[in-house]
A and B are shown apart, each in its own frame.
Chain A
């Protein structure tokens, strides 16, 4: 399975970046082969919609699960629609977060977090 982790740098030694939409990098790890690669997050400077853009990006990369600290409501809705499972980790290096995931110690996220900059949904 292809796993995406939001990170503050492009290596396995980087720290988990808690902000899903605005993280610096995504590290993609193949949980079977342990092959990995890092990509800068294209949404980092987005004026709006960083969460949806990041979700679209990792979906296009073929991620099936994602680990971050916090998923905003738009990111949650998009990831959920894409069938990408979300897991929350508090902090730590990417490699140890992956280990926690593999041993089933990370909690699955089933409700969106508090909203970001633009303050929430509720248009209708």
Chain B
């Protein structure tokens, strides 16, 4: 079972909620993936000891100038415009290259060789409580987060009965889509404010586009108005948990404590959250919006998995 914990923006308590959920499910059969490869921070909460390190990257083209006739075919086929042929010379722009291999396949002179280009690092290890924790760390200044997230997801095969929690980066951009894709359920963390609602709408739209079941956690409940509640009802998104606005909670989190550790009374609530997720996934639906599309959903998901 793969659960993605997402939020439209940063600072909603997403990471502490994802970490608490990981602890509430049986830790020894739980994997936690920090997919925020541009600014990983879940290790501050879960404190794993990293024992595995692996460099990851893409295969990018390298042109043999002896063989190249400057025919321009590679530039024509590259949909990312990462390779250009100018003044009789081929120029590669590694930071634009997606490593798709089209240029190599299409070069009539066999002049292109693929060489690895390191984008970042995968790291994995166990936490004191037994959770297997893995994260990707993108090299500074590197714009390409998606390939690292994809490789992080595929790094360790998911065992039967294992629960994988993915901490999704904030926002609704490509790295978010990649982090959510392939999940069985998406937990959307929000705040009951106009900003929270705005970001929740965007995140909910994305989840709907991916045809995944989802539910909402309202954090800092009580600080705003009822608009988030109204929206969830209209959109058929179940509100699965509310965490009240509470100075003590805010302080504990600011000091890097986990919700379920600082407030043990939350442990059963997170266990209940997990039970709700299981029920919804087994019923094949999280929100009413999904009911009609469950079948299509399974099909298209498999399609995505295969192309990954």
Q: Which A residues are closer than 8 A to B by beta carbons?
A: 43, 46-50, 52-53, 55-56, 59, 74, 77-78, 81-83, 118-124
Contact = CB atoms under 8 A, between A and B. Distances in A.
Contact of A78 (B80, B91, B140): B91
B81 A50 contact: yes
Contacts of B95: 74, 118, 120-123
Interface in B196-219: none
Contact of B84 (A55, A119, A122, A123): A55
A123 B87 contact: no
A48 B89 contact: no
Contacts of B78: 49
Interface in B93-147: 93-96, 117, 119, 139-143
B84 A78 contact: yes
A49 B91 contact: no
A48 B98 CA distance: 10
A52 B82 contact: yes
A83 B87 CA distance: 7
Nearest to A82: B86
A59 B79 CA distance: 18
Given A43-B81, A47-B80, A120-B141, A52 B87 contact: no
Interface in B59-105: 75, 78-82, 84-87, 89, 91, 93-96
A2 to B, nearest CB: 15
A56 B93 contact: no
B84 A56 contact: yes
Interface residues of B, number: 23
A40 to B, nearest CB: 16
A124 B94 CA distance: 9
Nearest to B92: A52
Contacts of B89: 81
Contacts of B91: 77-78, 81
Contact of B86 (A48, A49, A81, A121): A81
B80 A56 contact: no
Given A43-B81, A49-B80, A56 B143 contact: no
8 contacts: A49-B78, A49-B96, A59-B84, A77-B91, A81-B86, A81-B91, A118-B143, A123-B139
A121 B80 CA distance: 16
Given A47-B80, A49-B81, A74-B93, A119 B86 contact: no
B86 A55 contact: yes
A81 B143 contact: no
A48 B85 CA distance: 17
Contacts of B80: 47-49
Nearest to A42: B81
Given A56-B75, A122-B140, A49 B85 contact: no
B81 A46 contact: yes
Contacts of A124: 94
B169 to A, nearest CB: 15
A123 B117 contact: yes
A123 B141 contact: yes
Given A48-B80, A53-B84, A56-B84, 12 more contacts: A43-B81, A47-B79, A47-B80, A48-B82, A49-B82, A52-B96, A82-B87, A120-B95, A120-B143, A122-B142, A123-B119, A123-B142
Contacts of B140: 122
B93 A77 contact: yes
Nearest to B141: A122
Nearest to A119: B143
Interface string B217-234: 000000000000000000
Given A59-B87, A81-B91, A52 B81 contact: yes
Contacts of A83: 87
A61 to B, nearest CB: 12
A52 B95 CA distance: 12
B87 A74 contact: no
Contacts of B82: 48-49, 52
